[in-house]
Amino acid sequence: MPWPLSNEQERRRLERAFSNRIIPFDAPGFYDHPTFLAQEQKDPRFLELYARYVEVRQYGDSYLADAAAKIDIAANALVSAIKADGRLGACVDASGMLGRMLDRLGIWNYVAKTTLTITFPSGSGITDRYFWSFDEGSFAAPHAIVIAPPFGVVDVTVRHQVYEGGEADYLPPLVMARDWLPAKWTPEDLANPEICAFLKMQGISFDAFLQRKSPSMGDVMRALPPRQIKFGDTIMKYVVVAVGGTIEPLEDITGYKPSGRTALQIFEQDISRQIK
């Protein structure tokens, strides 16, 4: 099955933009190239072009089959390490690790900061669960995933968040979604009820609030479409609100070490050995 987001016109536009800035774009991970990094210094949102390029490229069947096999090995190895470690809420660190691992394997991908809305089966008695961009407290991102064709969502931590009751029982141990549907975001996906109620009371549209609070977010949501997947009767909606990742190469990722192992050790011990 072809990658559904391929867009020849947009691909050519982005390639012209990279070429004009003398940025090579022939291999995954070119966001590490010095000329790309120089552009990022001028424009902190330049990484969004890399993410957009990953989404609109055309991919052959042989590439997609090879990529799927390698992503499967890497994602499952990382999920096993996260589960053994037991830390909850490590989505930003874990997705950054996976993105760098896939770069090393020559797989096109990018790390996305997202909201996540989970709708549980009606018979479960569990109300919807939200990971909002606009909420109380301080956090790096509401959630983080990797997008790597042929998978529209790769989520290695969806079950390893802080949940109440039996919520985790209705979630997959790993999301690798080939089959996903385009979705539409709502204010309730992005902001908690108190913020939504305040805006309504003040007669302020959510679009106006978004433009004032985070104008770049609207641009990202238009360029990188929201997506919805199902696991049994559970529905998960992901809204991409920013492009993330880790600055450090695989060798230097040492902040999060599942069960005491670095990202490089997990890669060498559990992943690269399985890949021919």
Q: Is 42 inside a domain boundary?
A: no
Please report, in angstroms and rounded to a whole number, the separation of the first and last CA atoms in the chain.
Answer: 24
Annotate 181-220 with DSSP letters as a single string. EE----HHHHB-HHHHHHHHHHT--HHHHHHHH-HHHHHH
d(CA 276, CA 273): 8
Q: Is 218 inside a domain boundary?
A: yes
**What SS3 state is found at 255?**
coil
Q: Is 222 inside a domain boundary?
A: yes
Q: Is 99 inside a domain boundary?
A: yes
Query: Could you report the per-residue pLDDT of 13-58, keeping only the tens digit for each?
Result: 999 999 999 999 999 999 999 999 999 999 999 999 999 999 999 9
The CA–CA distances, whole Å, from 127 to 32, 87, 163, 165 equal 42, 24, 12, 11
Asked if residues 157 and 97 have their Cβ atoms less than 8 Å apart, the reply is no
Nearest CA to 185 out of 222, 144, 141, 142 is that of: 222
- The token pair at 181 is 């549907």
- Residue-level pLDDT at 175: 98
Nearest CA to 225 out of 55, 31, 53, 44 is that of: 55
Q: Is 181 inside a domain boundary?
A: yes
Instruction: Count Cβ atoms below 10 Å from residue 15 Cβ, excluding itself.
Output: 15
Query: Could you report the per-residue pLDDT of 190-247, keeping only the tens digit for each?
Result: 999 999 999 999 999 999 999 999 999 999 999 999 999 999 999 999 999 999 989 9
Torsion sign, CA atoms 106, 6, 217, 22: positive
> Domain containing 75: what range?
63-274
**What SS3 state is found at 147?**
strand
Q: Is 265 inside a domain boundary?
A: yes
Mean pLDDT of 132-148: 84
Nearest CA to 113 out of 206, 225, 239, 227 is that of: 239
d(CA 74, CA 78): 6
The CA–CA distances, whole Å, from 244 to 103, 205, 210, 271 equal 14, 28, 19, 23
- Number of domains present in the structure of the chain: 1
Q: Is 20 inside a domain boundary?
A: no
Query: Could you report the per-residue pLDDT of 51-87, keeping only the tens digit for each?
Result: 999 999 999 999 999 999 999 999 999 999 999 999 9
Q: Is 256 inside a domain boundary?
A: yes
